């Protein structure tokens, strides 16, 4: 839904940003500005400011910036539409009229919210009367008391007949609405409807505002599926929802920390142990949308998984989905429990210390990826170690943020060097002295560091030749490439022409680039690079060749750049 600028301006005119912020921050006035401790990161010296005239906030410590809507989104974990509706309600402004189609959809959504609320209350009553006796026994055996059941609004769906359908019909709810809610399903023959949930403990799933949007059901009898969720509806998208997000939002924002468990019972167990800032996806790996939701509540959510193979794979999938979205201060952390254990079982066994220990010593995203790669695959040969480097490079190139991508390249390269270059040295006194000087001499000893195949002139040729052989890489390295000092006049002219055609021809390949550049008078220098003429050492570099894998070529280019910068007498361009 789009809001007219005038409507947003009306909200800004009715509400002062400093008054909204003062609910979360103790502010002091300094001239035309307000100042206080930033609510988005821990600090001791105030760096959070509000300029009421311009209508924005800014933190000079963490860089947080935005207007009144952005502030509410950050502090309350809402999306833009929810923040606008929340502030419009506060200042008494009516949401602008919608089109007839939008109005009909809004009415359906409102009705489905009401219907889910009615159903949730009905499931709760079923749990607490005679029909729910077996479910109450099961919950008691799992250590859940009545207070916990009430807090999470747990319920029960009877396993016989269609009592929910009959209840809704008695409430004069049309079957088409019951079907639209996902509570009722139509039989394949199209003639009869039936209750979707049967013989299951019911877990209401809410949105960030606490409104019931769907249900999860756990079987307590013989069923092929232990857990099932509501089908997708106008309210519910499985990959967009998080269990317990409404309850966890306040504690997460207050603590600047969020725990992500694997399922409903894990979240309930964590809550009982005092970790009220806990949520869970709905039985599947975290999606990109869910990761963005997590980041609205905490900058580095802590993913808590079972230490078995399934838990490791779930963590890996989450890590890979997070990589393209990483931003300044936004990442993931991982905590792995003992194999075969989850938060629920640990607490049931009286092992709360093991849980606290795991949550208190999380693993960073980059360390998890590194550990995964070196533990899952054997690394006992040069070929296998080369494959490791290629896998790390492929992971890193998924990161869209340039600064973070460069940081991952550097960290992985250091980890690789520390593990394989340093570990091969003897632990004798003489070897320890060598280890101390390795970082200082390592680049000079590299094949591209010095000697006839690695002098500065050669490195300049390699840096240009790789990008001519792989012009698709220019979009990623343009800034670095344009700043390198190139001493050879012909090579410098080729570099300039290559940058120009990559701007006008974003999809150009090696053959097209070579033809285009040759037509512009650069054929001679290209022949020197690729045709084993004067600069015949250039083609010794495998990464120069167009048939080389793109990611391998990118890794080699960055490696060459790092060596070149380290050895240059004028390192500023790097």
Return the structure tokens found at 483.
């700043």
Cα–Cα distances (Å) from 50 to 15, 74, 360, in that order, read: 14, 15, 35
Tell me: the pLDDT tens digits for 85-99? Answer: 889 988 888 887 667
Query: Which residues make Cβ contacts (< 8 Å) with residue 132, sequence separation at least 6?
Result: 126, 156, 158
Return the structure tokens found at 67.
């207007």
pLDDT value for 296: 84
Where is average pLDDT lowest: 64-68, 150-154, 482-486, 567-571?
567-571
Cα–Cα distances (Å) from 204 to 212, 215, 256, 297, 523, in that order, read: 6, 5, 26, 21, 69
pLDDT value for 542: 67
Side by side, the strands of the sheet bearing 212-219 are 155-157, 200-206, 212-219, 227-229
Mapping DSSP onto H, E and C, the string for 242-275 reads CECHHHHHHHHHHHCCCEECCCHHHHHHHHHCCC
Residue 475 has pLDDT above 50, yes or no: yes
d(CA 133, CA 128): 7
Among 45-54, 145-154, 247-256, 335-344, the range of highest mean pLDDT: 145-154
Note the maximum CA span of the chain. Answer: 92
Cβ pair 227, 284 in contact under 8 A = no
DSSP 505-538: -TT--HHHHHHHHIIIIIHHHHHHHHSSSTTTTG
Tell me: the pLDDT tens digits for 107-136? Answer: 898 899 999 999 999 999 999 999 999 999
Work out the pLDDT band at 209, boundaries 50, 70, 90.
Answer: confident
d(CA 298, CA 300): 6
5-90 has which fold? DNA Primase; Chain A (3.90.580)
Work out the pLDDT band at 571, boundaries 50, 70, 90.
Answer: very low
Tell me: the pLDDT tens digits for 323-372? Answer: 999 988 899 999 988 777 888 888 777 777 778 888 888 899 999 999 88
Tell me the pTM: 0.65
Tell how far CA 221 is from the center of its chain: 37
pLDDT value for 504: 66
Over residues 469-488, the mean pLDDT reads 84
d(CA 287, CA 224): 25
CATH class of the domain defined by 100-229? alpha beta
Over residues 221-236, the mean pLDDT reads 89
Query: Which residues make Cβ contacts (< 8 Å) with residue 191, sequence separation at least 6?
Result: none
Q: What is the DSSP letter of 48?
A: E
Tell me: the pLDDT tens digits for 415-457? Answer: 888 887 644 443 333 433 433 332 322 333 334 444 334 577 8
pLDDT value for 447: 41
Residue 268 has pLDDT above 90, yes or no: yes
Tell me: the pLDDT tens digits for 290-315? Answer: 998 999 888 999 999 877 778 888 88
Residue 274 has pLDDT above 60, yes or no: yes
d(CA 87, CA 67): 12
Tell me: the pLDDT tens digits for 521-561? Answer: 888 888 888 765 566 556 556 677 777 778 778 888 887 88
Mean confidence (pLDDT) of the chain: 84
Domain ranges of the chain: 5-90, 100-229, 245-371, 444-567
Percent helix, strand and coil across the chain, each to the nearest 5 = 55, 10, 35
Return the structure tokens found at 333.
């952390």
Given CATH 3.40.1360.10, say whether it is the number of domain 245-371.
Answer: yes
Where is average pLDDT lowest: 174-178, 357-361, 492-496, 499-503?
499-503
């Amino acid at each position: 839904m789009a809001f007219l600028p005038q409507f947003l301006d009306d909200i800004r005119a009715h509400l002062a940003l400093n008054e909204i912020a003062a609910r979360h921050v103790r502010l002091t006035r300094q001239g035309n500005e307000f100042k206080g401790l930033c609510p988005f990161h821990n600090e001791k010296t105030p760096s959070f400011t509000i300029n009421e005239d311009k209508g924005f906030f800014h933190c000079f410590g963490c860089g947080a910036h935005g207007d009144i809507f952005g502030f509410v989104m950050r502090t309350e974990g809402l999306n833009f539409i929810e923040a606008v509706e929340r502030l419009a309600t506060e200042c008494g402004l009516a949401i602008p009229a919608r089109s007839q189609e939008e109005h009909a959809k809004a009415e359906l959504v409102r009705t489905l919210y009401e219907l889910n609320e009615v159903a949730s209350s009905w499931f709760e009553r079923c749990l607490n009367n005679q029909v729910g006796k077996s479910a109450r026994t099961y919950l008691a055996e799992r250590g859940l008391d009545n207070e916990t059941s009430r807090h999470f609004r747990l319920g029960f769906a009877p396993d016989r007949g269609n009592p929910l359908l009959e209840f809704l019909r008695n409430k004069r709810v049309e079957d088409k609405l019951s079907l639209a809610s996902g509570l009722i399903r139509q039989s394949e023959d199209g003639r009869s409807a039936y209750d979707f949930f049967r013989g299951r403990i019911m877990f209401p799933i809410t949105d960030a505002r606490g409104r019931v949007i769907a249900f999860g059901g756990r079987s307590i009898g013989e069923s092929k599926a232990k857990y099932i969720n509501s089908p997708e509806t106008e309210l519910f998208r499985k990959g967009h929802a998080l269990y317990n997000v409404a309850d966890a939002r306040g504690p997460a924002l207050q603590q600047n920390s969020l725990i992500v468990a694997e399922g409903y019972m894990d979240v309930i167990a964590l809550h009982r142990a005092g970790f009220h800032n806990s949520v869970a996806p709905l039985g599947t790996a975290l999606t990109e949308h869910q990761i963005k939701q997590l980041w609205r509540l905490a900058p580095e959510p802590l993913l808590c998984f079972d230490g078995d193979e399934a838990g490791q794979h779930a963590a890996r999938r989450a890590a890979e989905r997070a990589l393209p979205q990483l931003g300044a201060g936004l990442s993931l952390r991982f905590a792995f429990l003992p194999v075969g254990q989850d938060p629920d079982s640990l607490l049931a066994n009286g092992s709360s210390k093991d849980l606290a220990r795991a949550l208190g010593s999380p693993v960073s995203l980059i360390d998890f990826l590194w550990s995964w790669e070196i533990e899952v695959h054997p690394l006992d040969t040069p070929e296998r170690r080369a494959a490791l480097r290629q896998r790390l490079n492929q992971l890193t190139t998924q990161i869209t943020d340039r600064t973070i991508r460069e940081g991952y390249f550097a960290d992985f390269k250091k980890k690789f060097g520390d593990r394989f270059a340093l570990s091969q040295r003897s632990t004798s006194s003489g070897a320890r002295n060598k280890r101390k000087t390795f970082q200082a001499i390592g680049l000079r000893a590299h094949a591209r560091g010095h000697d006839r195949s690695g002098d500065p002139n050669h490195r300049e040729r390699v840096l240009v030749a790789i990008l001519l052989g792989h012009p698709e890489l220019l979009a990623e390295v343009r800034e670095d490439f344009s700043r390198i000092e190139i001493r050879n006049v012909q090579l410098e002219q080729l570099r300039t022409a290559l940058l120009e055609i990559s701007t006008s021809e974003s999809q150009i390949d090696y053959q097209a680039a070579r033809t285009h550049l040759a037509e512009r008078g650069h054929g001679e220098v290209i022949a020197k690079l690729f045709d084993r003429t004067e600069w015949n050492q250039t083609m010794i570099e495998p990464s120069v060749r167009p048939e080389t894998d793109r990611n391998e070529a990118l890794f080699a280019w960055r490696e060459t750049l790092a060596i070149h910068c380290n050895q240059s007498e004028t390192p500023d361009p790097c």
